[in-house]
Structure 1
Amino acid sequence: MSVKSNVAFMPLNIAVLTVSDTRDESNDTSGQALVERLAAAGHQLAEKRIVKDDVYQLRAVVSAWIADENIDAIVSTGGTGFTARDNTPEAIQVLFDKNIEGFGELFRAISYNEIGTSTVQSRAFAGMANNTVIFCVPGSTNACKTAWDKIIEEQLNASHRPCNFVPHLKTTTLCQSRG
């Protein structure tokens, strides 16, 4: 349930990462769904990339985005299953300063209503690194829509109450330090 406050909406700079050995810009429906949703919510697309499901390539891209002062949030799609090529958790979780355990738990609870017990094979997860929030969701377009529509959009909205991640992000920290 969304609760609004009188705090003004703050557009964030969000990077979108598609993890796939087979997708390109012509067939990346999951990444495109995230781009469309973040724009519709009033946020800015900072960058969009498609990277092969390789631990070191993933870490390199996400590490650069975490270090970039102009990126507040990262949403990654793909590589969260159980095949031999699903390496997103192993690649990204080591970069976190803090895990956001509730994201994966909530995503699977919501997904249960959509796909039943198959949701146990989702390793969706999230965390914070260098004042950047990172959400990693499955590669299906429907999973991306569920994650954004039912969790991420509210958590990246400064007016959502009782709490959201915006006060913890680089943009907010930079604005506060300029005093």
Structure 2
Amino acid sequence: MAHANTPFIPLGIALLTVSDTRSFNEDDSGDLLASRLTKVGHELVEQCIVPDDVYRIRAEVSAWVVRDDIHVVIVNGGTGFTPRDTTPEALAPLFDKVIDGYGELFRQLSWSSIGTSTIQSRAVAGLIDRTLVFAMPGSPKACATAWDGILSAQLDASTRPCNFVAMVLPDAERCASRFPADNPNVSEVEA
């Protein structure tokens, strides 16, 4: 649900594709995410491809989360169960807070298209300092599910009752249900 009185606030987003085989000419998932995020008004700050390697993934994400112009990092690929799929293992030690609901909701949304195979998705998300990091499977369909079903709304300041914009931009309007003193229309009981 969007709130008409809250303006859209563009965020700086970095995209990381994790793949041993893709190049920029073959990165359909990265292209899909770049197109969707810029179409709604966010800024694509940087886009990169790294191999399925814990330390390369950590190094790239770590370099991005210290930058003031990057508020969100979106990682696609490396979330399956093969020995080379190490994105969750690379990111987990970096998270200050885990966003458990992201993976849960991603798998729920995936159920309608892939059935029980959704349990093999290890989509994860977390907060590193004031930077949001979301990881998803590397297929274009999975990236569309994550963006269209979750991220587009949660990275929009007008989404109510809550969104993630205030987590990364300290001057953004806070979640009214968590901070009822800021919103006289929400009672303490609702919070």
Same fold (TM over 0.5): yes
CA change 1:102–1:175 in 2 (3 A) is: closer
Separation in 2 of the partners of 1:29 and 1:61? 20
Written as runs of structure 1 = structure 2, the 5 A alignment for 1:108-147 is 108-147=107-146
Please provide the CA RMSD for this pair: 1.3
The CA deviation at 1:69 is 1.1
Structure 1: state its 5+ residue gaps. Answer: none
2:153 is aligned to 154
SS at the partner of 2:170?
helix
Aligned residues: 173
Q: State whether residues 12 and 73 of structure 1, in contact with CA within 8 Å, keep that contact through their aligned partners in structure 2.
A: yes
Written as runs of structure 1 = structure 2, the 5 A alignment for 1:8-19 is 8-19=7-18
SS at the partner of 2:26?
coil
2:170 is aligned to 173
Q: State whether residues 74 and 132 of structure 1, in contact with CA within 8 Å, keep that contact through their aligned partners in structure 2.
A: yes
Q: State the structure with bigger RCO (CA 8 A, min sep 6), 1 or 2.
A: 1
The CA deviation at 1:93 is 1.1
Separation in 2 of the partners of 1:20 and 1:78? 6
2:62 aligned with 1:63: yes
Separation in 2 of the partners of 1:151 and 1:37? 13
Q: What do the CA deviations read for 1:3-27 (whole angstroms, capped 9, x no partner)?
A: 3341111000000000000000111
Identity of aligned residues (%): 54
Structure 2: state its 5+ residue gaps. Answer: 174-191
Greater Rg, structure 1 or structure 2?
A: 2
Q: What do the CA deviations read for 1:104-128 (whole angstroms, capped 9, x no partner)?
A: 0000001001110110000001000
TM-score by length of 1: 0.94
Find runs of 4+ consecutive structure 1 residues off by over 3 angstroms.
none
Q: State whether residues 165 and 172 of structure 2, in contact with CA within 8 Å, keep that contact through their aligned partners in structure 1.
A: no
TM-score by length of 2: 0.88
